Amino acid sequence: MPYTVYVSLQNDDTIATYDLDRESGALSGRREIKLEGGPAALAVDPGQRFLYCSLRRSKEYASLAIGERGALQLLGKIPVEADACYIKTDRTGRTLLSASYGGGVIGSFRIGGEGVIISPPVQWIATARGAHCIQTDRSNRFVFVPHIHGNGPNRIYQFLFDAETGALTPNDPPTVEPPGPLGPRHYAFHPRLNIVYFDNEQGSSVTAYRLDPEKGTLSPWHTVSTLPEGWQGQNTCAQCWIHPSGRFLYASNRGHDSIACFTLDEKTGALTSLGQQPTEKTPRVFGLDPEGRFLLAAGQGSGRMASYRIREDGTLSPLEVYEVGNNPMWVTILDLD
């Protein structure tokens, strides 16, 4: 059975679904569901029964059921106070967490037994403009919210999370400062080590933070550029994702228009650059399949999506380029077999 790929297309009011061949990496069998309101960030519950989508233009969250071959059925929408640039369920799938860049708030919503987001929220918490990501750690007890530099305070907010109630409480200390005006944007947890990697929007880099597993606090450790040495053009980072093996990390460069590739030391988690793979124009979003065989990068500036095979050494081998649609805002790849 192929992998299932979802691509949200904000300007087309569409979520496109594809089959991704496990051996060749070829995409086929496109299906679509119309979703008015500007679909953007996507999240999937741990059981892979439900998909959630932030509708940025209409300020709504949509709940969808995942059916045969990844078919989507709309279960309902709820209006929200602020549009979300990032949503994620907790590790139990009973809470949906959201971060609003423009609203400067984070939200916590309970999810009902039928997979539908419940309104009103458990909490709306004002942080600051530029909130860009929100997730629980592997223990499901801690949450971090990075805020970019310039339009935000260049800061990571730290919270305690109660999985029973969905409530968030500021940790002690409540924030951590990056090592410079870097603008932390997205982050990924190492699957085994107590390390968290943040890509930096303004810094065009990735910073590794040590995670205290008892206190749930971060401390910056080291930072590595996502750009080639000596490159002087304008660039901002967007997303970062870690390979399921924990051996590699990838981050997207908008401006240099590439995917930066890194190896991760298996004992320390230290980053070493593998260089950059050229890709589509303005690669805001990309995704890896659950087994780490392929990477799909969507160009916000081109409306195309490029596919790559992930080599044994972590570098990328180009495969095909596909027309997907206007303003791709998320790429999610699932193994529904």
By CB neighbour count within 10 A (0-12 exposed, 13-18 middle, 19+ buried), where does 219 fall? exposed
The SS3 of residue 171 is strand
Handedness of CA 209, 252, 242, 130 (dihedral sign): positive
Q: Is 12 helix (H, G, I), strand (E, B) or coil?
A: helix
Rounded to 5 degrees, what are φ and ψ at 152? -140, 180
Strands (E), 191-303: 195-200, 205-211, 218-225, 236-242, 248-254, 258-264, 271-278, 285-288, 294-298
CA torsion 259→133→294→189, rounded to 10°? 100
- Nearest CA to 223 out of 191, 255, 200, 256 is that of 200
Helix locations, the chain, DSSP H: none
Residue 292 and residue 278 in contact, taking contact as beta carbons nearer than 8 Å: no
Residue 12 main-chain phi, psi, to 5 deg: -100, 0
d(CA 183, CA 307): 28
- The DSSP code for 130 is T
Distance separating the N- and C-terminal Cα atoms of the chain: 6
Length of the chain in terms of residues written: 337
**CA–CA separation, 326 and 38 (whole Å):** 11
Name residue, tokens 């305070």.
153
Query: How crowded is residue 110: how many other Cβ atoms within 10 Å of its Cβ?
Result: 16
pLDDT of the residue at 228 = 97
Cα separation, 25 vs 261, whole angstroms:
19
Could you tell me the two tokens for 178? 């990056």
> Which residue segments constitute the domains of the chain, with CATH numbers given?
35-176 (2.130.10.10)
Q: What is the pLDDT along the chain (337 residues), one digit of tens a residue?
A: 999 999 999 999 999 999 999 999 999 999 999 999 999 999 999 999 999 999 999 999 999 999 999 999 999 999 999 999 999 999 999 999 999 999 999 999 999 999 999 999 999 999 999 999 999 999 999 999 999 999 899 999 999 999 999 999 999 999 999 999 999 999 999 999 999 999 999 999 999 999 999 999 999 999 999 999 999 999 999 999 999 999 999 999 999 999 999 999 999 999 999 999 999 999 999 999 999 999 999 999 999 999 999 999 999 999 999 999 999 999 999 999 8
What are the structure tokens assigned to 234, written together? 């304008």
